[in-house]
Amino acid sequence: MLRSLPNLLLLPALLGLLASGCDGTAPPRPPTFTKSTSQPGGEALRLQGRVNDAAGLLPGDVERRLDSRLAALEAATGHQLVVVTVASLGEEDIADYTLYLGRRWKIGRKGHNDGVIVLVAPKERRVRIEVGSGLEKTLTDPFCREVIVRDMLPRFKRNDFSGGLEQGVDSLIARLT
């Protein structure tokens, strides 16, 4: 199962984005979720597959490419990696919400705790990589920060969410295989 990781402020003056690494500390409070973290109409965000683009950021061809890469990773290693975009976090903390989704959706194999969620909330300008405890030695805090800062944030700053997610996912996959 995934566990919560603290948010770390990265390059706020330059990029204005909040990102997090992967250090495995527990959340300060139990998560509570309102309709603000739901899809339009107040429905809870549902797992749709390996790519869950609730914010509508990704063209269909990008979703298919990402899904194919993530399926290949799972077939080769057993590790589950899921990409999620949300229209808004509302009042919710990105760390709590990402952890909530990972647990609710049961990302990662039971007993292995090897799930990973990449979550993007463009309205709040936040991104998070949540790593299950079974992969913390492979996807370390410094590595996850590097992926976010080097691969994702520069593209997100240019509103290239597809490119940022593809590059970030490719870096995570390369490290996991």
Q: Is the pLDDT of residue 35 over 60?
A: no
At residue 44 the predicted structure's pLDDT band, cuts being 50, 70 and 90, is low
pLDDT tens digits, one per residue of 62-87: 999 999 999 999 999 999 999 999 99
Q: Is the pLDDT of residue 61 over 80?
A: yes
Give the start-to-end residue ranges of the domains of the chain.
7-176
Which strands make up the sheet holding 18-20, listed edge to edge?
Answer: 7-9, 18-20, 126-131, 115-121, 80-85, 51-53
Over residues 27-38, the mean pLDDT reads 43
The model's pTM is 0.78
Q: Kindly write down the DSSP assignment for every residue of 35-99, as one continuous string.
A: GGGSPTTSPPP---SSEEETT--S-HHHHHHHHHHHHHHHHHH--EEEEEE-S--TT--HHHHHH
Task: Name 84's bridge partners.
Answer: 52, 119
pLDDT of residue 23: 33
pLDDT of residue 20: 39
pLDDT over 90, % of the chain: 71
The answer to whether the beta carbons of residues 152 and 172 sit under 8 Å apart is no
Pairwise pLDDT comparison (64 vs 12), residue with the higher score: 64
The answer to whether the beta carbons of residues 134 and 110 sit under 8 Å apart is no
CATH class of 7-176: alpha beta
Over residues 111-128, the mean pLDDT reads 94
